[in-house]
Structures are given as structure tokens and as C-alpha cells.
Amino acid sequence: MVDIKGLYKVGIDEIDAEHDAISKAGYDIHMRLMRGESSDVLLPLLRDYVGLIDRHFSNEERLAENLGKDHVKQHVCEHQRILEDLAQHVESLPDQELSRWKHGFIAMLDGLYRHVVVYDRILARDITGRT
């Protein structure tokens, strides 16, 4: 998905750049899936994608560390849930029927965008002190 109207910008350059990289990598994988590329080609890319998201989550958690806000704990739990679900889904690629797998992957991409809107925006607001 291309962020045409900046809907997913949170206003912190470092986080926005990481979100852009994740979005572009997810879009690239989605296009490859649509072109029918094989699991052998896709699996290493998907594992890199999981690594990219893992590093981004760690970075957000580092930025949130000293905020002392209640929602940070829930945010970190969401990161763990997303990462575990995604990693599990990626590793199930060779064993699942492809159209069903694609459907699950697209739902996970949607979940990532939802996370930015529901969690990252609040976090960014607290980091920058904006109201």
C-alpha cells in the first residue's frame, strides 16, 4: 500500500522512515506473490521482512522506554503478538495452500497499518510532547 495522503505518518522522521521501508518491503512481497513466485524465492524475503519489523519494534520500544506511560506495556505486547503471528505464518508458507496463505498474509499487512494508527500515533504524540 502506498501512503498517498500521509495517513500513516506519525511525525517522527526515524519512525516514519522505518514504516516506509516496512511498507515498501511488504508491497514488494505482495507483488511477488501476485506474480506467482515460488516459496523458495519468497521465504528468504519474508524472513528478512520479519527481521526488519523486529528491528523496528525494538527501536520504537527503545524510544518509548522512559516515557512512563501505561499504554507502552500494551504496545509492547502488541509488538510481540504481531511478530509471533507473522513469523509463524511465514514459516507455514511451504505447508499451506497458497491462496489461503496469501489471504492470511494480506490480513497481516492490514494489521500492521492498523497498529500504526491505533498504537504508534499515540506513542509518537507522547515522544514529541504534541497534544
Q: Which residues bind Fe ion (CB under 5 A)?
A: 60, 119-120
Among residues 17, 19, 2, the alpha carbon closest in space to that of 120 is found at: 19
CA distance 78 to 123: 13
**Is the CB of 16 or the CB of 105 nearer to Fe ion?**
16
Residue nearest to Fe ion (CB): 120
Q: How far is the CB of 98 from Fe ion (least distance, A)?
A: 28
Q: How far is the CB of 122 from Fe ion (least distance, A)?
A: 10
CA distance 96 to 125: 40
**Is the CB of 54 or the CB of 89 nearer to Fe ion?**
54
Q: How far is the CB of 29 from Fe ion (least distance, A)?
A: 18
Q: How far is the CB of 35 from Fe ion (least distance, A)?
A: 28
Return the axis-axis angle of helices 71-91 and 98-115, rounded to nearest 10°. Answer: 160
**Is the CB of 26 or the CB of 60 nearer to Fe ion?**
60
**Is the CB of 38 or the CB of 66 nearer to Fe ion?**
66
SS3 letters across 100-118:
HHHHHHHHHHHHHHHHHHH
